[in-house]
Amino acid sequence: MGSNTGETPSAGNGIIQDESFKHRIWNESKKIWVVAGPAILTRCSTSGANAITQAFIGHIGTTELAAFALIVTVLMRFATGLLLGMSSGLETLCGQAYGARQYHMLGIFLQRSWLILALSSILLLPFFVFATPIFKVLGQEESISDMAGTLSLWFIPVMYSYITSFSCQMFLQAQSKNKIISYLAAFSLCIHVLLSWLLTVEYRFGIAGVAISNILAYWIPNIGQLAFIFSGRCKETWKGFSMLAFKDLWPVIKLSVSAGAMLCLEVWYNSVLILLTGRFKNSEVEIDALSICLNISGWEIMVAFGFLAAASVRISNELGSGDPKAAKFSIAVIVITSFSIGILLFIVCIFLREQLGYIFTKSPEVAAEVAHLSPLLAFSMLMNSVQPVLSGVAIGAGWQSSVVFVNIGSYYLIGIPFGAILGYVFNLHVMGVWIGMLIGTLIQTIILITLTCKTDWDKQVSIAKTRVNKWLAEATE
């Protein structure tokens, strides 16, 4: 009798604990997908806009396609890395302030971000205006460089769209109000498909037609996001324009610069891959094939970036609210979820490698090269399902300055030199360069995993509280 009464509660407690654990996973998954779902749709729509542009340009000519590849993977990655990185400083501040229930600070942070990103965009202008001589100095073929110079001017409005796009996304994501962003992105993508077909196929405007459609695809969501914020849908966090946005900008600039350096080093990594490839013989075919692979990888990275956003929001919110255990639990759930999706995409990429190239080009040579590179593409997608999530953890906790050094070491001191040696010395060409760069990504991922596992999260809560209180005090002075 006594034995039975002793066993029953034990079994019951085990069931209750198991149900409680499942309930925690379910609740955390819902919180993650509230942010990650719309973020994935938004980023896939953005990546889709590039894919649509690439598909139409690819059917105009191989030189145009190679020039587009240079613009997107070098200039636009350069601009994206800088502006997205600098806006991730806003992601840290907004997420932790929202978790600490200091809602009014989000609107002030947003306005400060606009000022900083606008100044940064002015500094980026010369790279677009003088794209042709820049690419020639970097060793790219003359015909491709000339065409890239023409295309780059059409991408200046796209670059300026990032000021509003990135900052508003960070602002809304911190509040888990980013569904509107995905709706607007999906709408603009449909418009982009229709306009690209009309302007290039029906009316034969060529490059200009695709470029105009591309510009509209980036600006339509921006107008919608601003209308959403200004219309009173963010009453607690948007109190109108304030002169506080001009106050104490230097600390925000320092955080934005460190955040920008962190993501720049990651985003520019693939740009180096394109530049190294441009020096090989028959580079036009290899650049075309590599750009297609990177475009496909970009779709998967957009999914991982959705989880990056979720990781950043969840970690910053929990640290701001003072719950280190919830932050650690969220990290585990996000990493496992994203990695599972990565495994699925890895399998799909391996089985469909012969057909992937023909989505973007009519050239059998380019398609064959894409099939040849597909195993590396599959492994890239697998690693990219984890690495961006860990970067999101770093952003949420405000570790951008530390991760800068991790990125420099793993990417630029190991990955690129190894890639250059394998590509040029061992004559493995694109595959050698890519293998070397995968090694750098693997090392960076291992370091971030170690850093995350060994972090004192109670201490991170104290740091987050100090940061929020500091900004609050400065805003009320």
Domain contains 23: no
Domain contains 11: no
Q: What is the pLDDT of residue 230?
A: 92
Q: What is the pLDDT of residue 8?
A: 41
Strand, coil or helix: 278: coil
CB neighbour list of residue 280: distance below 8 Å, 6 or more residues apart: 286, 423, 429, 430
Domain contains 302: yes
Q: What is the pLDDT of residue 228?
A: 93
Q: What is the pLDDT of residue 4?
A: 44
Range of the domain at 225: 33-468
Rounded to whole angstroms, how far apart are CA atoms 171 and 180? 12
Domain contains 182: yes
Domain contains 248: yes
Q: What is the pLDDT of residue 475?
A: 55
Are the beta carbons of 209 and 200 closer than 8 angstroms?
yes
270-301 per-position pLDDT tens digit:
667 666 766 666 566 777 777 788 777 777 77
Q: What is the DSSP letter of 244?
A: G
Domain contains 28: no
CB neighbours of residue 19 within 10 Å: 10
Flag residues of the chain having pLDDT under 50: 1-16
Nearest alpha carbon to residue 468 among 163, 108, 19, 79 = 108
Domain contains 66: yes
What is the number of domains present in the chain?
1
Domain contains 18: no
Rounded to whole angstroms, how far apart are CA atoms 329 and 28? 8
| Alpha-helical segments (H) within 322-386 | 324-351, 364-384
248: left (phi over 0), alpha (psi -120 to 50) or beta: left
pTM equals 0.77
Q: What is the pLDDT of residue 466?
A: 81
Q: What is the chain's percent helix, strand, coil content, to nearest 5?
A: 85, 0, 15
| Burial of residue 191, with CB atoms counted within 10 A of its CB: 0-12 exposed, 13-18 middle, 19 or more buried | middle
Look up tokens 């042709």; give the residue. Answer: 132
